[in-house]
Amino acid sequence: MKAGSASKQGFADVRSVGARYPSRVLWEHGPLIRRLAARELQSRYRASMLGIAWTIIVPLGMVLMYTFVFGSILKMRWSGIDGSMENMTAFFLAGLIVHQLFSDCIARAPSLVLENKTYVTRVVFPLEILSLVTVAVALVGAIVGLVLLLSFMMLTSGIPPATALLSPLVLLGMTPMLLGLIWIISALGVFVRDLGQIMPIVLSVLFFLAPVIYPRSSVPEPLQAFVVFNPITIPIEMMRALVFGHPFQWELAPAYLAISLIVCWAGFSLFSRLRRAFADVL
């Protein structure tokens, strides 16, 4: 059978398996997702001298830089934080964990299908799981960062509140939003190659328009609505509420989850429709 006809037959086969529900993709291809995620982690750090330790070194280095600049040079202070180096570091790290999870997924999205064109043109493969693999790998780094945060707090400030044990749920709660956005961006990235150049700019804008290095309360009241609509604002504030005991409008959590599920469904639907043309473009 020719490659072209094989790929077309593959599209038909894959569309018939879990194409209607994103949850079915995870259920039916769980073992394959785990194998690909493990291979991705191994290949990412295989040639590195420090290996997976980079998942700790990179965020910690960035947090120390932000703490030094904003805490020591600019001497910025925020309500609810006593201004000590330890508390400032923990405050920044909590926000950076969420942002880094989002950034790792979205930065990869434009080239996700392009980098795996063999799966499109020559092999019968459930392309939908590439997004799940990307999120799974990013979650590993986020969990490592969360362990680092809680360990740092125990060493410097004592045992965190009991609610800190629920903090991984914040990362898992971001998963539907991340999957939907990756499906949308990766599908469009096949046809619009400029997305690879645009996305770093978008991520930089989202970083400074989210309370990563400042609390939302420091934003002027008329502009706070723009900050709330940032897809990482609510998760950052939930993370800090659970880890530090900060106040939070918990009624926003169900709304965020509902929007995330809508984005996930819309992204999966768009990807399923556009994938039929991937082979022609690639």
221 CB-side CA count, 13 A: 0
What is the number of domains present in the chain? 1
For the beta carbon of residue 148, count every other beta carbon within 10 angstroms: 17
pLDDT tens sequence for the chain (282 residues): 333 443 344 333 444 344 466 667 777 788 888 898 888 877 776 666 666 666 677 777 777 777 777 666 656 666 556 656 777 788 888 998 999 999 999 999 999 999 888 888 776 788 899 999 999 999 988 998 898 889 888 888 888 889 999 999 999 999 999 999 999 999 999 999 899 899 999 999 999 889 888 888 888 888 888 888 899 999 999 999 999 887 788 888 999 999 999 999 999 999 989 988 888 887
Instruction: Return d(Cα 154, Cα 143) in angstroms, integer.
Output: 17
Q: Which residue type does 9 have? A: Q
Global pTM reads 0.84
Contact (Cβ atoms closer than 8 angstroms) between residue 28 and residue 17: yes
Find the angle CA(180)-CA(219)-CA(205) to the nearest 5 degrees: 40
What range defines the domain where residue 73 resides?
3-281
For the CA atoms of 115, 116, 118, 119, the dihedral, rounded to the nearest 10 degrees, stands at -160
